[in-house]
Structures are given as structure tokens and as C-alpha cells.
Amino acid sequence: MPTSKTVSTCTPDLEEGTHVFEILGYSKHRGMGNKFIRSGTFSVAGHDWTILFYPDGSRTDDLDYISVYLELMSQGSKVRASCDLRLVDQSTGLSSSVHRTGPRMFNSSDDSKYAPQTRLSKKRSELESSAYLQDDRLTIECIVTVFKEPYVSKTEFFSEIEVPQSDIMEHLGKLLEEKEGADVTFSVEGETVVAHKIVLAMRSPVFKAEFFGPMREARAQQVTIEDMQPAVFRALLHFIYTDSLPGTDGIWGAAADNEMIRHLLVAADRYAVDRLKVICQSILCRNLDVETVATTMALAYQHNCDRLKDVCLEFITRSNVMDAVVATQGYKNLKATCPSALVDAFEKTSMFRKT
């Protein structure tokens, strides 16, 4: 079915202007009360603006401060603009911002014509002891940016060359499946599995140390894997080659899921395949229930899965299921093999009841 794709672009149209307001004889402007000195009018994008300087602050309780504002002067105007009010360091000539107003509407008919809309005051004692005031001179710099109507381009046909998704994992999966170039054979409970040393070393620091480290067995053509089921080892290799778990071929179905994932977590920890270890924890976390939580918690303690451990403790202490959990075989096993987990659970339950 033929399809078409078109594109248009929106580009901001803005104009920026800077006005410098020199306050000479700064100390001689003191004692004005809440009156202000207005700068000369300056124009940005056809709109008139001024700076207001209050030597004694803009409010009756601001006598120990100075205040500075920007005002939109053009009558009957509404302008979308931003401003940056700055003070100039007299020793370096560099300016530092004391207030920024992001893009907003300035309306000359109400208080939104001022920026900032709340008071902007700087303590006089701090100002007079700084490099902003030298030779009785203060320099205020105001940068005004006016945002006009954005420019929208004409609609055009969108030309692109689509890039296919990466298929490297598919090729690596075929490499494992077709066994071409395999240079190591594993014996797992009497079953034979072949693989490629360089791929295993690339994905597992344990395999890398075994095949290419100082104690390497680079010439070893056959390696015996102890204490692991063949299905678990094959699933481990599948992940190493494809960065994914095997498909739903019965291994991951129904009740077998949690048991297989637990074994796979142990394998991932053994060979330091960290991403697979996190994936297994995530699956076990989603499938927690009264029957499995104690077994899963024991696994978390044994293999340093701190986040999974916390989730298990949370499940037990905050779901009012402690009595049901205690009645399971998994809890009895946990009590025998990992008593520290029960201490943590007890402490967490006590804390929860106090809150």
C-alpha cells in the first residue's frame, strides 16, 4: 500500500537588544525614599523599554537595599519577551545575572509590564563591598529578547532512507545454533554443548579470565560444567549470544518459570553476566506470591541481590501475609539456611507497626 510522508518546520523568530545603564555618583542618589531613576528609553523589536533603579529600594521596608526593574513602555502593547538583568564587575568588565525572566507576555496595561513581577532587591552593604561598585559608579546591563511570530516552512515531501534495525544478535544466535567455527566444547551432566571462546569472553569476565587470563586454559577444547542443569547452561549461552531469553518453548512455561529463572540467576551470578542477573530479579519480583517469596528471599541473600531482597521484605511485612508465609516449606528452608533474612524481616515488621 503506497504511503506518503510530508514535513514542515517551525523556527523561532526573535530579536535581542542590550541596554547599559550607568549610575554615576551612586552615593549621591541616596535618600530618595521609594522613588526611582528611569533610564533612557531603548527599543527592541519596535517596542520601547526602560530600566527603573531604586537607590533606596522599591518598598518602605527596603531602605537597606537597591531595586532594579525592566518596564515595557509602549502603550497598548502586548509583547512576548524574556529579560536578563545583570550587574557589571567594574574591575573586569564582565557582567553577572541577578535575575532572569523566561519567555512570557508583557502587557503595558497591567503589572505584567514589569520584570521581575516580584521585588528584586540586593542588599546595599553587599553591593558596596563588591567589585560591582567602584569609583562611585554602578553599571546595570539589561538584555531583552523579543519573540515574534514563529516562522513555519512550507509543507514538503519528507525524503529519507530508512535504516533497518540492527540484526547482529540474530547473526550471533545463528552462530551459536549452527556451531560454525566453535572452538570449545562443554560437558554438562553428560550433554555436549559447543560455543566460541571469543564470544563468551566478550560477554563474561569469568569466561574471559578462564580462556584468556593469566591462568588461561586457551588450549582446552573441552570444559566440564559442574552443578548446573544442561537447560540452564543452554539458556545462559543463548542470552550471551543474543541478549535475550529463549522463546516460549516449554522451558519458560507456567510453573517451571520461577524455578528456571532462579537457576538462571545463579548461573548469571556465577559467570558475572550482570544484565541477565537483573532481568532474572525483575521476573522473580513480578511473580512473588506467598508460596515463592521465602525461597526467592533466600536466593536474594545468597547472591547479593539487594533490590530483590528489599522487595521480598516489603511483600512480607506490608501485605499481612506473614502467617501464610511461615507455613510454607520455603520459609522452613529459609529459617535453616539464612536466619539473617528472618532478622531483617522481623526488624522491618517492627518498624512498620510503629509507623
pLDDT at residue number 341: 61
User: pLDDT tens, 302-312?
Assistant: 899 989 988 88
pLDDT at 161: 75
Q: Are 325 and 290 in contact (CB under 8 A)?
A: yes
Helix and strand numbers (H, E) in the chain are: 12, 18
- How would you label 286-309 residue by residue, b for 16+ Cβ within 10 Å and e otherwise? eebebebbbbbbbbbbebebeebb
pTM of the predicted model, to two decimals? 0.52
Would you state the pLDDT for residue 125?
A: 85
Write down the pLDDT at residue 292. Answer: 83
In terms of phi and psi (left: phi > 0; alpha: psi -120 to 50; beta: otherwise), the region of 346 is: alpha
Quote the pLDDT of residue 166: 87
pLDDT of residue 240: 94
What is the predicted pLDDT for the residue at 78? 95
Task: Evaluate whether 85 touches 120 at the Cβ level (below 8 Å).
Answer: yes
> 3-state class of 113 per DSSP?
helix
The Cα angle at residue 345 between residues 342 and 351, in degrees rounded to 5: 145
Per-residue pLDDT at 249? 44
Q: CA separation (Å) from 12 to 82, 101, 152?
A: 14, 18, 9
Contact of 136 with 24, CB cutoff 8 Å: yes
Indicate the domain borders of the chain. 13-152, 168-354
**168-354 maps to CATH 3.30.710.10:** yes
- The architecture (CATH level 2) of 13-152 comes to Sandwich (2.60)
- CA–CA dist 207, 188 (Å, integer): 16
User: Which positions of the chain have pLDDT values less than 50?
Assistant: 248-256, 350, 352-355
